[in-house]
Amino acid sequence: MRALDRLLTSPPDPARVGWLSQWTYAHRGFHGGEVPENTLLAFAAAADAGLGIECDIQRSADGTAMVFHDWDLDRLIESQGALGDQASDFLETLKYRGQEYGIARLVTLLELVAGRVPVLIEIKSRPRYDIERSCAAVQAGLTGYEGLHAVMSFDPRVSRWFRRHSPQTVRGLVMREDAHGHTQSAWRRHMALWIARPEFVAYHVDALPNRFAADLRRRGFPMPSWTVDSAEKLATVRRYADAAIAEGAGLEMASHRTAETT
């Protein structure tokens, strides 16, 4: 029996996950220039362009899912300190540098999208972090939402939590193999897969192609790939993965080709 057969007892249901391969996703929204990443303006631009959305989630001090990538505020926001130390109402009042709006809640993003395009929700985690509270916050934000969506994380506990507590939610595992990742070695990749039991795997484009990823695709696991920011990386995704999570030049090229074929 192959190693993946031992880890994954059955492939995902195509009826649940087939849509993942049918879109190009704007990484943190269609951002750039005067439009900051992970903002409602960036997400509106993506939806208007017919692009799926990839966003990041941090948890506020009062347990609310907030759309933001970093643990600290200062790279993008006119404020200092950790996002997780602040309440959601306060975070909404903070301003992105040079802008007149603050950090959005997940539920606000979903109200904006309103099912027009799919949303990939990456839940941020790190060692010794209470990831279950973040999962519960995202689940609460998703309550009643009927548009296409999926959750994913580098932390395999996220997929496991949703499998146990919110089985209707499509769940994925994010993987990278470079020095910044948690799954550099083969045994770590297999362990993460065994814990997560995901329905799709979002793979780092710089790690493609490889046998592990190819085996997953052959077994029916959709494979969006990130971050696609050049023509070369877009070509890699089109050959070795199933969908691009793109930004910059990669997103512009993917959007132009999508427009030509529709």
Q: What is the pLDDT of residues 78-134, one digit of tens each?
A: 899 999 999 999 999 999 998 989 999 999 999 999 999 999 999 999 999 999 999
Q: Looking at residue 145, what is its pLDDT? A: 98
Q: Looking at residue 253, what is its pLDDT? A: 86
Rg (CA), the chain: 18
**Which one, of 149, 194, 153, lies nearest residue 176 by Cα?**
153
Q: Looking at residue 255, what is its pLDDT? A: 73
Work out the average pLDDT over 144-166.
98
pLDDT higher than threshold 80 for residue 5 = no
Work out the average pLDDT over 167-194.
91
How many CB atoms lie under 10 A from the CB of residue 195? Answer: 16
What residue ranges do the domains of the chain occupy?
Answer: 3-256
Answer yes or no: are the C-beta atoms of 174 and 146 closer than 8 Å.
no
Q: What is the 3-state secondary structure (H, E, C) of 101-159?
A: CCCCEHHHHHHHHCCCCCEEEEECCCCCCCHHHHHHHHHHHHCCCCCCEEEEECCHHHH
pLDDT higher than threshold 90 for residue 254 = no
Kindly give, in sequence order, each residue whose CB lies less than 8 Å from that of residue 213, ignoring residues fewer than 6 positions away: 201, 203, 207, 223, 240, 241
Angle (CA) 76-81-87 rounded to 5° is 95
**pLDDT band of 1, cuts 50, 70, 90:** very low
Q: Looking at residue 182, what is its pLDDT? A: 74
Q: Which of 27-31, 55-59, 62-66, 178-182 has the lowest mean pLDDT?
A: 178-182
Q: What is the pLDDT of residues 193-215, one digit of tens each?
A: 999 999 999 999 999 999 999 99
Work out the average pLDDT over 54-65.
98
pLDDT higher than threshold 90 for residue 52 = yes
What CATH number does domain 3-256 carry, 2.30.300.10, 1.20.1600.10, 3.20.20.190, 3.40.50.2300?
A: 3.20.20.190
Cα-to-chain-centroid distance, residue 56:
6
